[in-house]
């Protein structure tokens, strides 16, 4: 049994955490603070103090880009073709190797595709289209795929489209029942091959550089999000099953602390905003860990654009992998320890990934299918579906699919009914309170009239008292 499978059994849908140690920097003191103990353990030490951490996978500076993709990306891309959402994040301080891991060496990012220097994103695109081609070969015209790429960055809590040259107006996040959270108006390029998708990535990457220079900002201060949406149509048996998934690949901004950025003005503001957005990510993770431990907590997804957008990736409907990039030099001991601790917390989060599937069909096909299912249902009233030989194979699958859809809709209707009941009860309570307040005011008014009629001196005091009571009741 492979380690991956063991980890899968043990961790279920937990966020997978992968640690990659980059080569030591030449321009710094040569002492190192990290030691890779095995393919899952790493220790960090300072003077005589040492701490050990265990993750799903740990690799040292000699790991190839192919190895990294094999451990991190393969399973996620395979899931996307089957209808599971997937997310891969790279986290770490500036210069720790996030871009190297996700894209490849940025100083040497050529047009050549594929290239052995390429990182997780180009390799994911290559593997995704390999899997798609295999499926198409197997099922012929009955299987159709539609893939669309978008690429944007989040800079100081503003979203900029990287597929528009010189984009200066920020985009907004929206939420809908069918799409969840999405970037409104972002360019989505349809791609039919890995090469086309790679060219989209390349265009966005170049635009990011241009924007960075033109607007005097550092790319390490923004989060770059490359997304590919996959729609798979399976048209077997007259009914079309549509599976949709999103593959998000995120090169996060540098996680260094504000004091290390050592600047003022714009750079300080940048650092503050980055830290806000990364610290919200940290808070989201903390809250989810608390929830895992049985505590009741609010998860502050909406506190930053990044966490709101990637809500499903952390604790939701997605398979997620976090790559923690670290510097081995002792000079960065503090940052490296923080990154390792962040990664350890992320490991405790459980996601709830499920296949995103819908059924469609032309009216006649669906009606025929419903008729067939009704007949099967009539025949099977006396037995459970699993015992009934008529409901074997394909029909059993269809039957279960139909039941699942019906059950899902039914539970949505039930939930809406409950919400409606609660709102109606609230309105009724409000009306009752209003009615009784009106009665009291009426009663007090008539009492004042009576008292004024008799007009002894001490009555004035009571009238004042009652007047103030009336105004309080009116306010109510």
Ligand X SMILES: Nc1ncnc2c1ncn2[C@@H]1O[C@H](COP(=O)(O)OP(=O)(O)OP(=O)(O)O)[C@@H](O)[C@H]1O
| Chain residues that interact with ligand X, rule: CB under 6 A | 22-23, 61, 92, 94-100, 105-107, 219-220, 254, 325
Is 98 among the annotated ligand-binding positions? Answer: yes
Residue number with CB closer to ligand X (191 or 224)? 224
- CB contact set of 350 (below 8 Å; sequence gap of 6+): 12, 13, 14, 292, 315
Q: What is the residue-wise DSSP string for 407-457? A: HHHHHHHHHHHHHHHHHHHHHHHHHHHHHHHHHHHHHHHHHHHHHHHH--T
Is 96 among the annotated ligand-binding positions? Answer: yes
The residue behind tokens 């180009």 is 122
Shortest gap between Cβ of 423 and ligand X (angstroms)? 48
Is 97 among the annotated ligand-binding positions? Answer: yes
Shortest gap between Cβ of 37 and ligand X (angstroms)? 19
Residue number with CB closer to ligand X (98 or 241)? 98
Residue number with CB closer to ligand X (92 or 204)? 92
Residue number with CB closer to ligand X (99 or 336)? 99
User: Which of 12, 4, 2, 1 lies closest to 349 in space, CA to CA?
Assistant: 12
Is 453 among the annotated ligand-binding positions? Answer: no
Residue number with CB closer to ligand X (68 or 318)? 68
Peptide bond before residue 114 is cis, with ω within 30 degrees of 0? yes
The values of phi and psi at residue 220, to 5°, are -70, -5
Residue number with CB closer to ligand X (245 or 339)? 339
Secondary structure of residue 239 in the 3-state scheme = coil
Shortest gap between Cβ of 430 and ligand X (angstroms)? 54
Residue number with CB closer to ligand X (67 or 375)? 67
Shortest gap between Cβ of 255 and ligand X (angstroms)? 8
Shortest gap between Cβ of 315 and ligand X (angstroms)? 25
Shortest gap between Cβ of 216 and ligand X (angstroms)? 16
Residues forming a β-bridge with 21: 326
The residue behind tokens 């604790």 is 315
Shortest gap between Cβ of 350 and ligand X (angstroms)? 28
User: Which of 351, 340, 352 lies closest to 18 in space, CA to CA?
Assistant: 340
Is 95 among the annotated ligand-binding positions? Answer: yes
Give the count of beta carbons closer than 10 Å to the beta carbon of residue 327.
Answer: 26
Q: What is the residue-wise DSSP string for 80-120? A: HHTT--EEEEEE-STTSSHHHHHT--GGG--S-SS-TT--H
CB-CB contact of 227 with 305 (8 Å) = no
Is 93 among the annotated ligand-binding positions? Answer: yes
Residue numbering of the annotated binding site for ATP: 92-99
Residue numbering of the annotated binding site: 92-99
């Amino acid at each position: 049994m492979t380690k991956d499978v063991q980890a899968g059994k043990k961790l279920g849908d937990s966020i997978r955490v992968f640690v990659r140690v980059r080569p030591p920097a030449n321009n710094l003191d040569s002492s190192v603070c990290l030691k890779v103990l095995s393919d899952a353990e790493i220790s960090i030490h300072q003077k005589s103090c040492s701490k050990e951490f265990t993750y799903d996978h740990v690799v040292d500076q000699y790991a190839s880009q192919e190895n990294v993709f094999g451990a991190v990306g393969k399973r996620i891309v395979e899931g996307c073709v089957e209808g599971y959402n997937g997310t891969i994040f790279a986290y770490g301080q500036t210069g720790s190797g996030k871009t190297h891991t996700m894209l490849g060496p940025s100083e040497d990012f050529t047009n050549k595709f594929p290239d052995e220097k390429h990182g997780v994103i180009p390799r994911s695109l290559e593997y995704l289209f390999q899997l798609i081609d295999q499926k198409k070969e197997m099922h012929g015209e009955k299987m159709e795929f539609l893939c669309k790429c978008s690429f944007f960055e989040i800079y100081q809590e503003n979203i900029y489209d990287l597929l528009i040259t010189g984009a200066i107006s920020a985009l907004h996040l929206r939420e809908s029942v069918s799409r969840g959270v999405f970037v409104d108006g972002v360019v989505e390029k349809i791609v039919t091959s890995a090469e086309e998708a790679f060219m989209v990535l390349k265009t966005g990457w170049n635009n990011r550089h241009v924007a960075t220079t033109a607007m005097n900002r550092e790319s390490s201060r923004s989060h770059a999000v490359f997304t590919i949406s996959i729609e798979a149509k399976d048209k077997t048996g007259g009914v079309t099953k549509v599976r949709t998934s999103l593959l998000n690949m995120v090169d996060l901004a540098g996680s260094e602390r504000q004091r290390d950025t050592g600047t003022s003005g714009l750079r300080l503001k940048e650092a503050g905003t980055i830290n806000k957005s990364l610290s919200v990510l940290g808070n989201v993770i903390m809250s989810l860990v608390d929830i895992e431990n049985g505590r009741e907590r609010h998860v502050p997804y909406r506190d930053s654009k990044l966490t709101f957008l990637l809500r499903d990736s952390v604790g939701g409907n997605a398979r997620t992998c976090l790559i923690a990039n670290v510097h081995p030099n002792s000079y960065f001991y503090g940052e490296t320890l923080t990154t390792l601790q962040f990664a350890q917390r992320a490991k405790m989060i459980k996601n709830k990934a499920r296949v995103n599937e819908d059924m469609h069909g032309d009216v006649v096909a669906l009606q025929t299918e419903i008729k067939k299912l009704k007949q099967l249902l009539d025949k099977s009233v006396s037995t459970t579906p699993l015992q009934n030989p008529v409901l074997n194979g394909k029909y059993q699958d269809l039957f279960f699919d139909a039941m699942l859809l019906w059950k899902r809709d039914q539970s949505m209707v039930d939930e809406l009914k409950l919400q409606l009941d609660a709102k109606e009860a609230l309105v009724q309570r409000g009306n009752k309170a209003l009615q009784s307040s009106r009665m009291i005011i009426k009663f007090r008014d008539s009492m004042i009239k009576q008292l004024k009629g008799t007009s002894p001196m001490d009555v004035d005091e009571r009238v004042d008292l009652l007047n103030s009571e009336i105004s309080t009741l009116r306010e109510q």
